[in-house]
Structure formats: C-alpha cells, structure tokens
Amino acid sequence: MREDRVSGKVCPREFFSVSDQVSYLEPSQMNALEESFRKWKDSARRMDSVRARTRLWLVFQLVRHTGARLGEILSLDDAEAFDAKGPFVRLGKEDRVREVPLPEEFFAELAAFLESPMGCGLHGELFRVDPGYFRRICYERGKECGLSKDLVCPKSLRNTRAVEMLRSGVPITIVKEVLGQSSLDLTANFQQFSPGDVQSIVRTAYEAMRRRTSARNSFLGHVIEVDTDQVMAQVVLETRSNLKICAVITLDSLRNLKIQPGSPVVATVKAPLVNVLRRAEQISGSARNRLEAQIIRVTDTPVLTEVLGRLSDGTDVCALISALSARDLALQPGDEVEFWFKAMSVVLNTVQL
C-alpha cells in the first residue's frame, strides 16, 4: 500500500478573519499591484529614469516585505542596514532595533543594484526619496489595477504584511515587534516575549516558511465533505476563494487526525505530481483536481521544465514536466492552461487547535 499522505501540523493562526476597519490587500490584489509597479519600472528608457524608478521600486518592496513605516524605510542607511550573512534588514533605533527577514530574490536584486554603476553613487542615500512623490507613484500604480488610494497607501501595505505574517502562523506579539508597533488590533490574543525570543522566533518562522514551500503547491481551507469506505477516505476542502481540493487518505489517518467537516487543513502537492494541459484541449482522465490558471513563467532544462501558473485568486501553482512534453505544449507566459493532479497526490496537513 502507498505511503500515507498526511503530514505535520500548522499553526491555527492561519485561520482568522480581518476586521472590515483594516485596509489591506488580498494576495491577488498585491500580485496585481506588484506587477503594475514592476512594468512601470521596466518601461524606463533613459538611464536617469531607470535609476529613479528602480529606487522607488526598491522602497516599495521594502515597505511591502517588512511592514515598516515609510519614514523608517526612507531614513535607512543602506550601507549599514543589511545583514551580510543573510536576507535581513535592521530597522529601528538604539534599543528598539529589530531584524526583519526579506525574500532572497528581492535581497539579491537589491544587492545587485547597490553593486551596479547606477547604485554605487547612492551608497548611504539609496532610499532618500520624496515621500509625497512615492505615495503618488503608488496611487498611480494602484489606479492601473483598479485599486483605491486607501488600499495602496503605505499604511495599507503595512497592514497587508501584518495579515500575511499572521496567516503564516507568526504570533501577534511577534508581528507587533516586527512592525515596530506598540499595539495591533487584529486579534485580542497577546503574549510577552523577550527581545532575544523575538529575534529567535522571527528567524525560525522565516526558515519554517521556506521549508514549507518545498512542496511548491499549498492550499489553505476547511473540510466541507468526507466520504469513506472500508479502507480509504476522500476529503474535500474549500479555500477562502471557494477553490475545492480533493484528497484521498487512509481511514486510520482520518480517525487519528480527527478530520471532519469544518476542520481547518492545508493541502500540499509536490510539483512533479502535477500535470499541465492547454485549457482548450478536451482530454479525459482520472485526476480529480483541475485548476484553471495563466502561465507566468516557463523555465527549461534539458530534462525537466518548470511551469509556474497563477490562479484567478492570486495563488501560484507549479508543475515539473518532462522537457519533451514542454516542447510539445510550447507554453508561453500568458497562456491559459489547466493544472491537473490526482487526489492521492495530495498531502493533508492538519491544524492542532
């Protein structure tokens, strides 16, 4: 019999609602804003325009990924703020200094710009840009993707980062410290941590988030249906965006994990177990899970090809297919496709409440 596809536990803080009084961006909205900002940056032609737009893009990315106040970012000394040992930035002053993790891809982009001819002359002053002008650029990029000013202002970007961390399982008091806030009205559950604990938990949470991405495909939701026979159980979960994912596990696992309708779970699928078909193709198969997406990147190697797509709700889906299949499909960014995977390929991660 196959290995039971049930994995470890995830933090219950991933399952909560946000007050209507808090302005923040959902993943699909943030993806749209980032894409609009990136296209604006990449459309610059004159060298002075390229440098100016890149500086604003880097400021935007720092606010977006740290949740820091705009003033904190604009006062950063880029020669002193970044950790040479890893993708972290130091924010705050004196006894309130905090260390915040950054995505490795962005950290590499920032380092490359600082080492480039355009960035060398800006050392120590890279982020010294006019705050009013930065806000106006954010508003313009938001307008391009149908987002109001209150959703793309620095405060909303700050709130968005807080919501992302809470949904990733970072305790609310740690979120407070990372953002440099004295209070955060997203939950009433407060705890106390020493400064040393804060540093340790933030780094640990960052590494845990990186490890969780090894399956490449992750879907968070609640169980809406459970069907069983003598040996196996079929579990259907529904995400916040009403996406349904079907998994098949052993009946023993169902009982041990106490999975029932309403249970919060995370479903993960490894990229080699996902197939890709053009949406127009009419091909029958046994795969229960078929997700419509748009291709955003195709990375070729002599043996395997990585295909990255984005669902309508902003969720990314990744597949690893043979290079021969990829050549036959001739996939390009922007193509409409379906990602297929079988219910028995889905790993269920339970939440311990």
Domain annotation covers residue 297: yes
H-assigned helices in the chain: 27-42, 47-66, 70-74, 104-115, 117-120, 131-144, 149-152, 154-167, 172-179, 195-212, 251-257, 323-329
At which of 184, 212, 240 does a domain end?
212
At which of 190, 212, 234 does a domain end?
212
Using one digit for the tens of pLDDT, what is the confidence trace for 56-104?
A: 999 999 999 999 999 999 998 888 888 766 788 888 876 678 888 888 8
Mean of pLDDT values over 276-280? 82
Q: What percentage of the chain exceeds 70 in pLDDT?
A: 79
Q: Note the pLDDT of residue 119.
A: 76
Residue type, 22: V
Across the beta sheet with 289-300, the strand order is 275-278, 336-341, 289-300, 304-310, 316-322
SS3 (DSSP) at 107: helix
Extract the tokens encoding 253.
């696992």
Domain annotation covers residue 5: no
Question: Between 215 and 36, where is the model more confident?
Answer: 36
Residue listed under structure tokens 């006019």: 130
The enclosing H or E element of 147 equals: none
Domain annotation covers residue 128: yes
Average pLDDT score over the chain: 81
Please tell me the total count of domains within the chain: 2
Q: Note the pLDDT of residue 352.
A: 47
Mean of pLDDT values over 227-245? 91
Is residue 324 classed exposed, middle or buried when 0-12, 13-18 and 19+ CB atoms within 10 A define those classes? exposed
How far apart, in Å, are the Cα atoms of 149 and each of 35, 145, 159, 277?
A: 17, 11, 14, 39
75 and 128 assigned to the same domain = yes
Q: Note the pLDDT of residue 13.
A: 43
206 and 63 assigned to the same domain = yes
What is the CB neighbour count within 10 angstroms for residue 103?
A: 14
184 vs 190: CA distance, rounded Å: 10
Using one digit for the tens of pLDDT, what is the confidence trace for 105-124?
A: 888 888 888 888 887 777 77
Q: Note the pLDDT of residue 288.
A: 84
27 vs 17: CA distance, rounded Å: 15
Domain around 84 = 17-212
Q: Note the pLDDT of residue 209.
A: 41
Question: Between 144 and 180, where is the model more confident?
Answer: 144
Q: Note the pLDDT of residue 224.
A: 93
For residue 195, what pLDDT band results from cuts at 50, 70 and 90?
low
Chain-centroid distance, C-alpha 214: 13
Are 215 and 266 spatial neighbours (Cβ–Cβ below 8 Å)?
no
At which of 212, 227, 261 does a domain end?
212
CATH number of the CATH domain containing 257: 2.40.50.100
Using one digit for the tens of pLDDT, what is the confidence trace for 21-66?
A: 788 899 999 999 999 999 999 999 998 899 999 999 999 999 999 9
CATH number of the CATH domain containing 173: 1.10.443.10
Q: What percentage of the chain exceeds 90 in pLDDT?
A: 39
155 and 228 assigned to the same domain = no
Q: Which of 75-89, 177-191, 234-248, 320-334 has the lowest mean pLDDT?
A: 177-191
Domain annotation covers residue 3: no
